[in-house]
């Protein structure tokens, strides 16, 4: 959009110049593009460069990039002009030259945001076509666009329920002013403009500000009544008429009744929005001198100030959503995914299932988290306080002091990442984390007390690393809940530069509390098991964090993992970190967080005499296990290291198997050979993992084996397939540590480091007597179960069972979007629903006679669990369904019979 003239709201009177013209006059002549210097290029390309005000240098670099990908034009199947635009974007991003905005570029090449982002990524035909810096910029733009799209769609929907169509022009003017004001507030208040939740809360603040300043005839009845009590207090009108020059709203500024109405209509917590208003939004109003104004600001003034922000940010113009501009329109397929039409659950049930938009999903997750913590306080419960008092050394004071320190640090770091006025929001998030921290700690200690029959956990509860890890995990859950879709990648696809510093995805929290990733990993599994109310998305997120730790974060220089490995390998009787004989065994262990934080707790494989055998109680007590005098001390075996390697091997083989399925389906015999080399490297050459990524060794092992087995597989082909795998980043193959702190592509790493270190071992696979193959690890479906997820009855694709989670949650939120819903334990409802369930089950392909055979031996009650692996899961689930139905029906019939008997006696 061309710059517009300023009005009286803006202090300056000159029009803002295009980005390219904002450079100093001394350099203007040297930076302006000249046609004479580019006769070797196509005229249309130079014309495009001229229209976007790029310099000669940018034009040259972009043309060179174009020549690099020119041979792949037929494969890309996109117009030449669009590809030129992509080359210009990549060049400008790499050179950090502010010459045009994304919107200006999109209009020049006739593409929308999504099309353009996809095209730039498709250009990466070679390993070095697109830099990691460009890829990071693409990810940032995509996140910001997705957030903006979701916000505008909610804004548009909310406006329909707020404003009455009395005067269409007046309504449009008000809506435009409100949206532009929000864009400006979002740009000034937030450094992380892709934060969906805080952005949405700012939007509600802006709506509140604008609604209470609108003429009453422009509002729908709900919102007209919401502000009527506040706008006309006794005596207020008289005072306003006496001083029209200083027309101000009440000093409280925020209309709590109106804000609550907006929050209720949008499933948002009003206290959080009020906090955002009083901090970030009030500061924004002060910056515009609008805090005491009783009128809407002039639209032109807001428009001009946002224009400056948009030109400075160099991305897309958010005002274009109001105009339905093609550059910001979402493709129809994507639109159907963002907004779905609600469907009825059944013909006889009029309840509508709301569409799962990004904002609704985020609000639902937040409500669920806050609801689960309603009964939890920000102080230790009576039970937890008792555990503290039972310790030999009471940890209470240390716990309180630690929380005070981390609370201040977390809030300040949150404000630095999100925005200067968001420190109070950080404190709110931290307080939620503290509640979850206490809740999980109590659950863990109850479980340990039941397992070990002890109440003195002094050694564990006085371990600062345990407390820090548990708190960090609780805070990560809170951050992921509020982060929504931006946290799904869990730290993947992070580029360099300022974007990383502002990114609060994992492992940001580890840096805040100064915790190593290896220590954090110890608490994850026990944390998940201790809280059955965690949503499936949060459990998956924590599993992703665990994978990130095993893939790369735990292998950073300074990690305690290397100290443990050194101790294991230097000991005279040191064992392998994980014996290959255990690969084929299921990943089953009894280690809890208490075991791992106190590990090593017992000598490895040493059998103690009966009279001095270490009982489980000694593991959790404050005293270390005793050793018999007659036996010499042997190196202690680390449970945490052993379990880490068990999980590492299973993750490594899972990744390798996926890559082999992409590339070597015609050579299945190579997979176990590649795995043997890969496993050998992890076990005996673990120094190769220092400051590197698990997948880097995996790709090198695949290339090496294919090389010695004379299978034609190029690194470019491996990398192309790798990019299609889930949870990958281009940094993995473009930014690899080689030698002396230098970074280069994975090919350079293979030639200079990997092959040199393992050359002898690699060549053995080409001999007639190759090394013995390593056993294949048994890969479970997932190390974590999701007991709260609806389970399908195996005999029918139509019947699901979802455990009752909380009385405040509606059944519709816990079950699949099916055509019918029955909640056992609640009012009986329509009997035809049970008849339909019978019909669904009877329509199954498999007979369920075995499940209802009353003559068969009943299974032990303890096996009736939703989270069991395999073993008659279908029979147990189906039996449970029918037992519940029969019990419910029988109870209903007994109640009905008792009522009839009572009536007959009265007669």
Is omega for the bond preceding 384 within 30 degrees of 0, making it cis?
A: no
| Cβ pair 419, 190 in contact under 8 A | yes
For residues 691 and 557, is the Cβ–Cβ distance under 8 A?
Answer: yes
Q: Find how far residue 279's CA is from the centre of its chain.
A: 26
Residue 832 is given by DSSP the state H
10-residue mean pLDDT series, the chain (907 residues)? 37 39 41 81 93 93 91 72 94 90 95 93 79 90 93 94 79 92 92 88 95 88 76 41 39 78 92 92 90 82 92 92 90 48 43 70 92 88 95 96 97 91 93 97 94 90 96 97 69 44 82 96 94 92 95 96 88 50 55 76 35 36 39 62 92 96 94 96 96 97 96 93 90 92 94 96 90 85 56 54 49 46 53 64 46 38 31 38 53 64 59
Q: What is the pLDDT of residue 599?
A: 60
Q: Domains for the chain: give ranges and CATH numbers.
A: 43-130 (1.10.472.10), 141-229+252-322 (1.10.472.140), 358-551 (1.10.472.10), 639-765 (1.10.472.10)
Q: HSE, CB side, 13 Å, CA atoms: give it for residue 875.
A: 13
What pTM value is reported for the model? 0.78
pLDDT of residue 377: 82
DSSP per residue, 689-701: GTTS-HHHHHHHH
What's residue 501's pLDDT?
41
Between CA 546 and CA 524 the distance in angstroms is: 7
Structure tokens at 817: 């979007």
pLDDT for 822 equals 56
- Give the separation between CA 467 and CA 474, rounded to whole angstroms: 11
pLDDT at 295: 83
Q: Is the dihedral of CA 61, 65, 70, 71 positive or negative?
A: positive
Q: Where are the alpha helices (DSSP H) in 163-220?
A: 168-189, 196-211
CA dist 693 and 688 (Å) reads 9
Joined tokens for residue 471: 């708190």
Contact 634, 603 (CB under 8 A): yes
What's the rounded Cα separation, in Å, for the pair 643 and 578?
8
* Residue 824 β-bridge partners: 826
Taking the CA of residue 203 as centre, how many other CA atoms within 13 Å lie in the half-sphere pointing to its CB?
A: 26
Q: Write out 369-398 in H/E/C secondary structure.
A: HHHHCCCCCCCCCHHHHHHHHCCCCCCHHH
């Amino acid at each position: 959009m061309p710059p517009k003239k300023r009005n009286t709201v803006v202090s300056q009177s000159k029009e803002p110049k295009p980005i390219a013209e904002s450079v100093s006059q001394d350099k203007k002549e040297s930076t302006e593009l000249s046609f004479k210097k580019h006769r070797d290029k196509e005229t249309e390309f130079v014309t495009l460069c001229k229209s976007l005000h790029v310099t000669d240098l940018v034009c040259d670099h972009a043309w060179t990039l174009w020549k690099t990908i020119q041979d792949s034009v037929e494969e890309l199947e996109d117009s030449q002009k669009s590809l030129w635009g992509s080359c210009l974007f990549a060049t400008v991003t790499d050179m950090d030259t502010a010459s045009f905005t994304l919107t200006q570029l999109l209009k020049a090449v006739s593409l929308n945001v999504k099309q353009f982002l996809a095209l730039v990524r498709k250009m990466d035909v070679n390993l070095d076509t697109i830099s990691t810096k460009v890829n990071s910029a693409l990810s940032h733009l995509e996140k910001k666009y997705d957030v903006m799209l979701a916000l505008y769609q909610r804004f548009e929907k909310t406006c329909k329920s707020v404003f009455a169509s009395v005067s269409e022009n007046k309504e449009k003017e008000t809506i435009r002013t409100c949206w532009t004001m929000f864009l400006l507030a979002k740009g000034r208040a937030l450094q992380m403009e892709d934060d969906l939740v805080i952005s949405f809360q700012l939007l509600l603040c802006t709506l509140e500000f604008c609604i209470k300043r609108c003429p009453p005839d422009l509002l729908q009845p709900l919102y007209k009544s919401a502000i009527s009590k506040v706008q006309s207090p006794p005596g207020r009108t008289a005072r306003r008429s006496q001083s029209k020059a200083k027309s101000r709203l009440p000093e409280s500024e925020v209309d709590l009744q109106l804000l609550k109405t907006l929050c209720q209509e949008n499933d948002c917590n009003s206290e959080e929005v009020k906090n955002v208003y009083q901090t970030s939004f009030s500061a924004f109003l002060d910056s515009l001198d609008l805090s005491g104004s009783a009128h809407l600001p002039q639209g032109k003034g807001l428009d001009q100030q946002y224009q400056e922000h948009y030109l400075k940010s160099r991305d897309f113009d958010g005002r274009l959503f109001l105009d339905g501009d093609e550059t910001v329109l979402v493709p129809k397929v994507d639109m159907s995914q963002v907004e779905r039409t609600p469907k009825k659950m059944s013909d006889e049930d009029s309840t509508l299932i709301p569409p799962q938009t990004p904002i609704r999903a985020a609000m639902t997750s937040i409500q669920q988290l806050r609801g689960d913590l309603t009964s939890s306080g920000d102080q230790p419960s009576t039970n937890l306080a008792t555990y503290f008092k039972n310790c030999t050394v009471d940890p209470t004071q240390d716990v309180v002091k630690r929380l005070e320190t981390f609370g201040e640090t977390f809030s300040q770091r949150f404000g630095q990442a999100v925005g200067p006025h968001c420190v109070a929001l950080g404190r709110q998030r931290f307080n939620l984390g503290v509640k979850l921290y206490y809740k999980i700690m109590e659950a863990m200690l109850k479980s340990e007390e039941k397992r070990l029959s002890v109440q003195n956990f002094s050694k564990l509860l006085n371990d600062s690393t345990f407390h820090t890890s548990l708190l960090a995990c609780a805070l990560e859950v809170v951050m992921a809940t509020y982060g929504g879709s931006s946290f799904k990648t869990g730290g993947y696809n992070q580029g360099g530069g300022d974007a990383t510093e502002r990114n609060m995805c994992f492992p940001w929290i580890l840096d805040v509390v100064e915790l190593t990733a290896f220590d954090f990993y110890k608490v994850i599994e026990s944390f998940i098991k201790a809280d059955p109310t965690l949503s499936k998305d949060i459990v998956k997120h924590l599993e992703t964090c665990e994978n990130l730790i095993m893939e790369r974060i735990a292998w950073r220089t300074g990690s305690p993992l290397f100290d443990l490995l050194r101790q294991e390998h230097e000991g005279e009787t040191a064992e392998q970190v994980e014996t290959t004989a255990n690969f084929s065994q299921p990943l089953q262990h009894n280690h809890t967080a208490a075991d791992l934080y106190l590990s090593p707790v017992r000598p490895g494989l040493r059998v103690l005499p009966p009279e001095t055998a270490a009982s489980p109680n000694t593991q959790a007590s404050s005293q270390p296990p005793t050793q018999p005098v007659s036996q010499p001390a042997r190196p202690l075996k680390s449970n945490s290291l052993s379990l880490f390697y068990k999980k590492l091997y299973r993750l490594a083989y899972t990744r390798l198997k996926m890559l082999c399925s992409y590339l070597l389906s015609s050579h299945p015999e190579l997979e176990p050979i590649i795995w043997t080399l890969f496993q050998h490297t992890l076990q005996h050459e673990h120094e190769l993992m220092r400051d590197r990524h698990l997948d880097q060794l995996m790709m090198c092992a695949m290339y090496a084996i294919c090389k010695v087995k004379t299978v034609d597989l190029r690194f470019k082909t491996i990398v192309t397939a790798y990019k299609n795998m889930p949870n990958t980043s281009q940094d993995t193959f473009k930014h690899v540590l080689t030698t002396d702190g230098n970074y280069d592509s994975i090919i350079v790493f293979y030639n200079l480091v990997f092959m040199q270190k393992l050359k002898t071992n690699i060549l053995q696979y080409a001999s007639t007597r190759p090394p013995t193959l390593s056993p294949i690890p048994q890969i479970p479906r997932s190390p974590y179960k999701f007991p709260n997820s609806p389970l399908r009855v195996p005999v029918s694709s139509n019947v699901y069972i979802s455990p009752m989670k909380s009385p405040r949650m509606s059944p519709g939120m816990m079950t699949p979007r099916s055509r019918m819903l029955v909640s056992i334990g609640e009012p009986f409802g329509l009997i035809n629903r049970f008849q339909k369930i019978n019909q669904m089950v009877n329509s199954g392909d498999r007979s369920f006679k075995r499940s209802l055979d009353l003559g068969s031996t009943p299974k032990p009650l303890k096996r009736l669990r939703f989270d069991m692996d395999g073993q008659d899961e279908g029979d147990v689930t189906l039996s449970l369904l029918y037992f519940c139905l029969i019990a419910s029906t029988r109870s209903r019939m007994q109640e009905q019979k008792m009522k009839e008997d009572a009536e007959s006696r009265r007669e």
